[in-house]
């Protein structure tokens, strides 16, 4: 294991890229100008072999954040402490700048969906989620970032809007937020809700990271497929968002049909340009 001082001390800033195994060798050999990387925690639990060794090498040059999909914080199942302990160990070992998760449930009765399932926006779900975020934050010794998830289902018994739910969660759990602009756009299309209202409702001062990705247009709905370039309307929404929260670190996510690293770097540059235009008050 490298000594902690072997790691770079650069802050998380600008447009980073989600680290995927296909690009690791190229990153190590070429050291591209990417400000930071985000890892999917589940892919890095191995304690020996090539996976942690490569991550250590990357960490010496790039700051890292951790993104998790399996804490299942909205689930009525008991918290999976083995999983959460692995996350804590990984975060300490690689000095991740922060850890993020999703507002959803992914398990029931110890069966995992491997997809982000939608919670109802009810007081019961809110209280349950807040309680579990608090437990996890106390164990990890830090605030976590909670991300707005894409949804294909809305419930008739929800009593508040998504924005109100997220705002109340952040305030009660004293957690930070990860705003996925693509998810917000996808949800607007899929549920005919106002993304502008979402932005008004959210406590934007708690947003520490923004996600951008490409959706897949399935005609009657948009699929949050992470397999395309960022669409023009999502980039415009991002520009509007960055006018409200300038300098917030932004991440390019691409998980399916993963292209060359250069394509992801070009996407990151598109995001950087949009953020700069936002800071100058320009439209795209």
Q: Which is nearer to another protein, 87 or 235 (CB)?
A: 87
Supply the minimum distance, in Å, between the C-beta of residue 187 and another protein: 11
Minimum CB separation of residue 242 from another protein in Å reads 29
Give SS3 for 257: coil
β-strand 207-212 against 176-180: which pairing, if any? parallel
Cα–Cα distance for residue pair 254/2, rounded to 1 Å? 29
Q: How far is the CB of 120 from another protein (least distance, A)?
A: 6
**Among 152, 140, 145, CA closest to 166:** 145
Q: How far is the CB of 217 from another protein (least distance, A)?
A: 14
| CA dihedral sign of residues 8, 13, 18, 23 | negative
Q: Min. distance of Cβ 116 from another protein in angstroms?
A: 9
Question: In the complex with another protein, which residue's Cβ is closer, 50 or 266?
Answer: 50
Give the contacts of 158 (CB within 8 A, at least 6 positions apart). Answer: 120, 121, 122, 165
**Smallest separation (angstroms) from another protein to the CB of 257:** 12
Closer CB to another protein, residue 29 or residue 110? 110
Compute the distance between CA of residue 47 and CA of residue 61 in angstroms, rounded to an integer.
20
Residue among 193 and 243 whose Cβ is closer to another protein? 193
Please, what is the minimum distance in Å from the beta carbon of residue 108 to another protein? Answer: 4
Please identify, using beta-carbon distances, which residue of 37 and 105 lies nearer to another protein. Answer: 105
* CB 110 to another protein: min, Å: 5
**Whose structure tokens read 């060794």?**
53
8 A C-beta contact, residue 14 and residue 270: no
Nearest CA to 71 among 84, 89, 90, 86? Answer: 84
Is the backbone of residue 135 left (phi > 0), alpha (psi -120 to 50) or beta?
A: alpha
Tokens of 177: 């937020």
Residues that bind another protein (CB under 8 A): 42-43, 45-51, 53, 69-72, 75-76, 80, 83, 105-115, 117, 119-120, 122, 124-125, 128, 152-157, 190-192, 220-221, 223
Decide whether 10 or 218 has the Cβ nearer to another protein: 218
* Contact (CB, 8 A) for 118 and 104: yes
The smaller minimum CB distance to another protein, of residues 13 and 155, is found at: 155
For residues 118 and 59, what is the distance between their CA atoms, to the nearest angstrom? 34
Q: Cβ closer to another protein: 29 or 156?
A: 156
């Amino acid at each position: 294991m490298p000594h902690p001082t072997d790691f770079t001390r650069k802050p998380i800033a600008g447009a980073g890229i989600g680290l995927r195994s296909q690009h690791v060798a190229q990153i190590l050999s070429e050291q591209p100008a990417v400000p930071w990387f985000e890892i999917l925690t589940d892919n890095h639990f191995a304690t020996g072999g090539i996976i942690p060794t490569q991550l250590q090498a990357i960490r010496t040059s790039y700051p890292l954040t951790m993104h998790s999909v399996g804490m299942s914080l909205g689930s009525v199942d008991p918290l999976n402490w083995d999983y959460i302990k692995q996350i804590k160990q990984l975060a300490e070992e690689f000095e991740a700048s922060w850890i993020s998760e999703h507002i959803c449930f992914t398990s029931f009765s110890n069966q995992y969906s491997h997809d982000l399932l939608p919670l109802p926006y009810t007081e019961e779900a809110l209280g349950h989620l807040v309680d579990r975020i608090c437990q996890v934050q106390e164990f990890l010794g830090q605030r976590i970032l909670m991300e707005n998830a894409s949804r294909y289902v809305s419930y008739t018994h929800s009593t508040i809007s998504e924005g109100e739910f997220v705002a109340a969660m952040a305030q009660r759990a004293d957690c930070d937020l990860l705003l996925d602009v693509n998810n917000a756009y996808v949800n607007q299309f899929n549920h005919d809700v106002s993304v502008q209202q979402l932005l008004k409702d959210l406590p934007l001062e708690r947003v520490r990271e923004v996600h951008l990705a490409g959706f897949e247009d399935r005609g009657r709905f948009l699929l949050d497929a992470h397999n395309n370039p960022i669409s023009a309307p999502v980039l415009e929404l991002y520009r509007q968002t960055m006018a409200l929260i300038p300098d917030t670190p932004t991440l390019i996510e691409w998980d399916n049909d993963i292209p060359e690293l250069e394509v992801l770097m070009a996407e990151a540059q598109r995001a950087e340009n949009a953020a700069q235009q936002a800071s100058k008050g320009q439209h795209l």
